[in-house]
Chain A
Amino acid sequence: MIRLLFLLSIGLYLSACNPNRSDITGKMDAYVPVYATQNEIQQVSVEAQQPTVNAAKIYAYRNYIFQNDLYNGIHIIDNTDRNNPKKIAFLKLPLNTDIAIKGNYLYANNYVDLVVFNIADPAKPQLVKRVNNAFPPADQQYPPFKNVYFVCPDKGKGTVLRWELKNIDMPKCRR
């Protein structure tokens, strides 16, 4: 019980004092939403191979490997010469979080839409179907961290793509 009280007091202490806050400039570190409009989210394209940023789920298909780059899209890797695997393309798919493959078709989410690509030529996925609003929107009304300050999202500006930590004037929202 004493330990619990001790932990509680530490928690109170931490929540009362934000070490990132600077009283001199009035600035502090806080999360700022990065928005995307419906048009930007649906900008699906096949691009040149690029470095992996947020390595996520992998999927093996024939001699190819697909790797989700969380919220960005899908890296496509040709493993035909297994001593020399090569990234051959990047399928830009904003807010993509999961993929599944059956036959020559890749199923993925593009934010709230279900999209289907023909991958008979894995280097050139072709969008063949979009099912609008197959999934309800995720809750992005706050950053995925606790005990942080953040700029309150403005729905009029679009969907919150992600959060960036910036040094700004103290924002109104906190969790």
Chain B
Amino acid sequence: MKKIIYYLLCGVLLLSACEKDSPGLAISVGGGAGQGGSLARFAIVGNYLYSVDDRNLKVFNITNAENPVLEATQNVGFSIETIYPFKDKLFIGSATEVYIFSIADPAKPQKLSSAISPQVITRCDPVVAKDTVAFATLRTNGPCGGLQSVLAVYNIKDITNPIQTATYPVGEPYGLGYSGDVLYVCDKWAGLVLFDISQPYQPTPINISINDGTYIDVIPYGTTLICWVTTGIILYDITDNRNPVLIAKIN
């Protein structure tokens, strides 16, 4: 079950009140550009900006916002792909391993556990966490293997010992996000898929079909659902969170 730590890597915690971002999903976009040029990835926690590049974790103090100061560089490993803050931890993922750092002292990340090497999942998958529950889409296409992509639900009261409570088959899922008691899951085949999460450990699908583009990720932002699609952005009014209404497409 420690694999959940791995799943947690790519996702994003939609916790901050007025600024939200989508996870740095490792998706190749377009024909001319590809993943080969993937560079830095960022996460801001408090007064610190953490970045990972090919092999290092760097800590920039941004207390003076206009003048980031590099305070620490730590060699983490090879082919680092993702950085994901969760509470007072940083999860740093490569294609094959996961490193967990404590940022209880934000200027000096401390490595807690060296690595987890999931045998089945060979790349990270998006996740969102809500209090003590985490939702992750486990995609099986590409290098991931497996028979069926699923939305997986975990009890994460103990982050080091997550317990899977439910799985639901989905087509080809990417990012996900929630607003109130509704979870939005991007599915390349079915479009935007909605789940009722009023019983968070046992979500139930909501019977509605929304398919206005190829969805990669979502940010529920107040009463607006911001969707990253392959052509740009689609916005929905989610005043009624179970019934998204198309506002606009931005290409």
Contact = CB atoms under 8 A, between A and B. Distances in A.
A139 B54 contact: yes
Interface string A99-119: 111111101010110101010
A134 B37 contact: no
B226 A58 contact: yes
B248 A60 contact: no
A139 B36 contact: yes
Interface stretch (A1-9, A11-19, A75-83): A75-83
A67 B33 contact: no
Interface residues of A, number: 59
A131 B68 CA distance: 8
A52 B42 contact: no
A97 interface: yes
A138 interface: yes
A96 B33 CA distance: 12
Contacts of A155: none
Contact of A100 (B37, B42, B228, B237): B42
Contacts of B58: 134-135
Contacts of A164: 32
B44 A57 contact: no
Contacts of B147: none
A172 to B, nearest CB: 19
A114 B67 CA distance: 11
B8 to A, nearest CB: 18
A107 B66 CA distance: 10
A67 B232 contact: yes
B60 A105 contact: no
B233 A65 contact: yes
Nearest to A114: B68
Contacts of B21: 57-60, 99-101
Nearest to B65: A105
A112 B39 contact: yes
Interface in A56-73: 56-62, 65, 67, 70-71
Interface string B19-46: 1111111001111111111111111100
Interface string B45-76: 00001010111101010100111101000000
Contact of B217 (A58, A111, A160): A58
A55 interface: yes
A140 B248 contact: no
19 contacts: A54-B30, A54-B33, A57-B21, A58-B217, A58-B228, A71-B37, A79-B224, A82-B235, A97-B37, A97-B41, A105-B66, A109-B39, A116-B67, A129-B68, A135-B58, A138-B36, A138-B53, A143-B36, A145-B34
Which 3 pairs from chain A and chain B are nearest by CB?
A144-B34, A144-B36, A52-B232
